[in-house]
Chain A
Amino acid sequence: MSRFTARFFNEASKPKQEYGEFFKQCYVIGYKTLTLVGVTAFIMGLVLTIQSRPTLLEFGAESLLPSMVSVSLIREIAPVITALICAGKIGSGLGAELGSMKVTEQIDAMEVSGTNPFKYLVVTRVLATTLMVPILSSLANAISLYGGFLGVNLRGDVSWNLYWFQVFGILNFGDVLPSLIKTFFFGFAIGIVGCYKGFSSQKGTEGVGRSATTAVIVASLMVFIVDLIAVQITDLLGLT
């Protein structure tokens, strides 16, 4: 796996990239996951708000609801949930796609026809996930805040303007930036794990299924590990 990652950086830094395939993959990865991410983010925002209300009510701090919810969503919940969904959807997709190309000798056929399959298939896909997961995650941030607005207004009455005033009042640079940066690493981890599992598929269709499953498991685990490392770093840098 580490050799695979090293090879990725080696191939990605060489000239002559496959731009056409890269944009196609961005489209495939981004567009096909958008609805799923959007719906989940909206529900997360809504549910988190509804769940948090009783606790805040106990402390008589109901008016802090928008602030509290938005901080949790932006710093942690929206990026991590998005990354997990992408690990499931994109990770398994990459594992299965490259895995079946491997076992049906399509990757060998590419190599014979003079195309570097690593560059054409792996580099483009890893770069595409590294770019698209942060974009999806940013969209999820925004959508989950809309969910939060609805949640606040189910049992209370906070005007549109006041809600956003509170949200942007509490969110600062130190919340948004680390959360954005870590999503690039989420995207990279998902892409590299999915491609690695696909590329190293063993013979047979059974191997393809196994690649897809382990890609999801390992990618999800990597998301949490990256998250853990990210929180330590932001803590050390005093960005909390």
Chain B
Amino acid sequence: MEQTVRNPVIEVKNVNKSFGDNHVLKDFNMSVYPGENLVILGKSGSGKSVLIKCIISLIQADEGEILLLGSSIQGLEQDELDMLRAHVGFLFQSNALYDSMTVRQNLEFPLRIHWSKEERALGAEAAVKEALEDVGLLHTIDMMPSELSGGMKKRVALARSLILRPKVILYDEPTTGLDPITSREISELMVSVQQKYNATSVIISHDLNCIKITSNRVIMLIDGTCYADGTYEELSQSADPKIKEFFK
């Protein structure tokens, strides 16, 4: 109830996006409220990655409006967009670690724009170490991404998206490819981050355990629209065959 009175952090209104004939998002609507952990569930290729890339303006929506932290991202100048992006963490499905840089340089990279030189001289080292400690990978600080395992890369990428203490975090499949134990650790980490900094998260995931731990609310993206919306318990008890498929 409390949620409805607060302004949404992210609002997606009637967004359409197609690639050629491939109509990926069809009049998609959703709102994300402060402090929420919203999970987006959907089949492979249903446009989940496209949707969160539209939110951060890496992909331009063809139609519709997207409000991020109260500003409409379509109307922003590049500088304003960059400032807005400082409040948003983004975990790429492919991790997107800079493979010519060490783990330390990877984590310092977002700081170079958003922190002043003095701030970096004083705080960068500590911030990098803290972020790595959070994901349990302090010992990899001077390694290259190519020396890390898949799961370690994911955790470093997670550390990188958290280093600026974002208000909103967008996770694209944070636990795919991890063992169940690490996967649970990551899920718990996501919850603790949300509580510690009072952040809002949008999580794309197929991992039922991860969803169970992290979600306050689940949205199902089917055929380019928001097919269902509810808590994990509600959806897992649903009688709708399309929804049931996911909870087998």
Contact = CB atoms under 8 A, between A and B. Distances in A.
Interface of A: 97, 100-101, 104-106, 108-116
Nearest to B172: A105
Interface residues of B, number: 23
A113 B85 contact: yes
Given A105-B92, A108-B58, A115 B113 contact: yes
A106 B96 contact: yes
B78 interface: yes
Interface in B54-90: 56, 58, 78, 82-83, 85-86, 88, 90
B85 A106 contact: no
Contacts of A109: 90, 92, 96-98
B29 to A, nearest CB: 24
Per DSSP, are chain B's interface residues mostly helix, strand or loop, or mixed? loop
Nearest to A113: B110
A106 B97 contact: yes
B78 A116 contact: yes
A112 B94 contact: no
Contacts of B93: 105
B86 A114 contact: yes
B114 interface: yes
A81 B90 CA distance: 46
Contacts of A110: 98, 109
A105 B113 contact: no
B109 A113 contact: yes
A105 B86 contact: no
A114 B58 contact: no
A106 to B, nearest CB: 5
A110 B98 CA distance: 9
8 contacts: A105-B96, A106-B97, A108-B53, A108-B58, A108-B96, A114-B83, A114-B85, A116-B78
